[in-house]
Chain A
Amino acid sequence: MTVGALTVPRRPVSTTPDVREPAVSNTRLAIVIVITAESMLFAGLIGMFLVFRLSQNWPPPDLPRLPVGITALNSVVLFASLVPLTRALRGARAHDGTGRGGVKIAALLGGLFLTIQGVEWLRLLAHGLTPGSSVYGGTFYLLIGTHGLHVLVAVVWLTVLAVLERRARRGWNSWAGLEMCTLYWYFVCGLWAVLFPLVYIY
């Protein structure tokens, strides 16, 4: 018998499915279902907005204009939060500690976005654009307010994850929660990419 490498022929393929690891994890499937349901909610709200936007003089001449410039800068803040969060998720998957602190940075940027939105809303309210002033105000606050509520939920989630990350000094034991939150944050940012041009610019 010679010493060397031995090539083993192809082993028989099992006909029973591999149930140990599904193609799509349960956490991913769950958050995709949630995102799908939330997308349908926003589709209904956008449909409502389109009816009013396209049927009358928009914006009404006697009401204050929306702050496009400051909201555009605010949008940059929101989209910038995607980078540290994505790096944090990649670092958690690779177990190499890269992107540590990214969740905290994303939570801070999300909080900054909400703060600036809140300040702009207070200014608009002071100038007379209230939810009850007209259809213009009502649709604006409903659509942007619903998005803001989703951002608030995501920021709270990110804050909880940041606290958990700080406690787990040796890195993430399980990054399923981080993955779910990251997908939800992608949804929130993608939604803003649709809402900002539709409500503020168009």
Chain B
Amino acid sequence: MTTLRRICSTLLAAAALCGVFSLVLAPDALAQGCAMCGTAFIKDDPVTRAFNWSVLFLIAMPYTIFGLAAGWLFLAHRRRGRHRAEVIAMPVTRPVPAPATGPEES
């Protein structure tokens, strides 16, 4: 396994573990929400719902955009590496020139 793949696997595993631990160990913290939003907005109000959707959209957008760009870069490098491997593995054939024939020495 290449170093880059090993690093990516480690980072993914660490991110997954952090996500699992934060969900399992912090259920009370998740229920509290934002103090400003909790005091400023009325429950079941269209404005509250609108802000909720807008905040969710804005939270998702940086990860989506940068994830797409990073994914494209990753795939471009991978495609390039595969192409290089194919070029290197290609057998090279070249015709061997016929030996020069001249008058036989007596």
Q: Give the residues from 148 to 173 in chain A that come closer than 8 angstroms, CB to CB, to chain B.
A: none
Is A68 an interface position by the 8 A CB rule? no
- A122 to B26, alpha carbons, bound, how many Å? 55
Q: Is the interface of B mostly helix, strand, loop or mixed?
A: helix
Q: Identify which of B3-11, B15-23, B30-38, B68-76 touches chain A.
A: B68-76
Complex partner residue of B95 from A5, A11, A13, A23, CB under 8 angstroms? A5
Contact A23 B80 (CB under 8 A): yes
Contact B92 A8 (CB under 8 A): yes
Contact A40 B65 (CB under 8 A): yes
Q: How far is the CB of B93 from chain A (nearest CB, A)?
A: 5
Contact A44 B58 (CB under 8 A): yes
Is A4 an interface position by the 8 A CB rule? yes
- A52 to B92, alpha carbons, bound, how many Å? 66
Residues of chain A within 8 A (CB-CB) of B81 are: 23
Is A126 an interface position by the 8 A CB rule? no
Contact A5 B93 (CB under 8 A): yes
Complex partner residue of A32 from B54, B62, B72, B95, CB under 8 angstroms? B72
- A189 to B84, alpha carbons, bound, how many Å? 34
Contact B66 A36 (CB under 8 A): yes
Contact B46 A50 (CB under 8 A): no
Is B25 an interface position by the 8 A CB rule? no
Count A-B pairs with CB separation below 8 Å. 84
- A52 to B46, alpha carbons, bound, how many Å? 10
Is B98 an interface position by the 8 A CB rule? yes
Q: How large is the interface on A (under 10, 10 to 19, 20 to 34, 35 or more residues)?
A: 20 to 34
Residues of chain B within 8 A (CB-CB) of A4 are: 95-96
Contact B46 A55 (CB under 8 A): yes
- A165 to B99, alpha carbons, bound, how many Å? 53
- A33 to B70, alpha carbons, bound, how many Å? 11
Complex partner residue of B88 from A8, A13, A40, A51, CB under 8 angstroms? A13
| A interface with B by C-beta (< 8 Å) | 1-8, 10-11, 13, 18, 23-24, 29, 32-33, 36, 39-40, 43-44, 46-48, 50-56
Given contacts A5-B93, A36-B66, 17 further A-B contacts (CB under 8 A): A2-B96, A3-B95, A3-B96, A8-B93, A8-B94, A23-B79, A23-B80, A36-B69, A39-B65, A40-B61, A47-B58, A50-B57, A51-B50, A51-B51, A54-B50, A55-B46, A55-B50
| B interface with A by C-beta (< 8 Å) | 46-47, 49-51, 53-55, 57-58, 61-62, 65-66, 69, 72-73, 76-77, 79-81, 84, 88-89, 91-99
User: Which 5 pairs of residues, A with B, have the shortest CB-CB distance?
Assistant: A54-B50, A55-B50, A23-B80, A43-B61, A55-B47
